[in-house]
Amino acid sequence: MDTPLADIRIGQVTSQWAESNHLYVSYKTQQDSTNTLAKEEAFEENLLEESLCLYVTDHQTAGRGRGKNTWLDAHHGSALLSSWSFLLGIKPQPTTSCLVGLAVYRACSTTWPFLPWNLKAPNDIYIGDKKVAGILLESLVQGNDVRLIIGLGFNITASPDEVETATSLIESLPQGAPLLGQDYMAFLDRLLFELTDAVSHCDEALSPTDQLSLLTALNQHPLLKEKYTGMEADGSLLIGDKKISWTNL
């Protein structure tokens, strides 16, 4: 595509942001999957001093989603294809998925509050009725060390033509509101803060604030058939008298 956006490489831009924030970052123009590499290097001796390792690329040849799902990006450099590998001294509980989803939602809605962000349990971020981002969580244990790997794919400048239910940030911005570099950097700053805070509480029950925040984000999803009426501290969702486990969604 012969447009100014065609020259942007989101992975490269994200890598430069990470370096400026003195984070360990592995950037490749193309690879199979950032989560796969993050898992391979989870307990490399030279990385055990790194509380966070960030893996980014401009194109994945074998991007993965939840279960057997795959992740498609529109073209090289159009999406944030990333894995955030946190070294923990605690064992993540099932509430981790809730907390991470809320963290990404908060980072998005804080940076671009005029867009109709919402959360579709268990791992998708939507703008209106279109999916814009997906989250894949994986954890590995070695002795007392735990690596929690948060895979995040986020369509920034384009979305795949073959996926009618997908959108991108650029496609969703109102006329006259361009994607500014400073806004994207502010998003990454906020995302780092929110993810770090989420993983620091990933062995705890959800607080009342988290429960209400998640309910709000979930009930804003326009394709939801029934509104959730409540949420419990373990992440279970309620619809009337029916209880639904977050992990079963």
Average pLDDT score, the chain = 91
Q: What is the mean pLDDT of residues 226-234?
A: 95
pLDDT digits (tens, 9 = 90+) for 78-135: 899 999 999 998 899 999 999 999 999 999 999 999 999 999 999 999 999 999 999 9
Quick one: pLDDT at residue 159? 87
Three-class secondary structure of residue 163 per DSSP:
coil
Q: Where are the beta strands (DSSP E) in 143-241?
A: 145-155, 230-231, 237-239
User: 70 vs 38, 61, 77, 122, 162, CA distance in Å?
Assistant: 17, 10, 18, 16, 13
Predicted model pTM: 0.92
Whether 209 has a pLDDT exceeding 70, the answer reads: yes
pLDDT digits (tens, 9 = 90+) for 121-133: 999 999 999 999 9
Which of the following CATH numbers is that of domain 4-204: 3.30.750.24, 2.70.70.10, 3.30.930.10, 3.40.605.10?
A: 3.30.930.10
Q: What are the sequence ranges of the domains in the chain? A: 4-204
Q: What is the mean pLDDT of residues 42-57?
A: 94
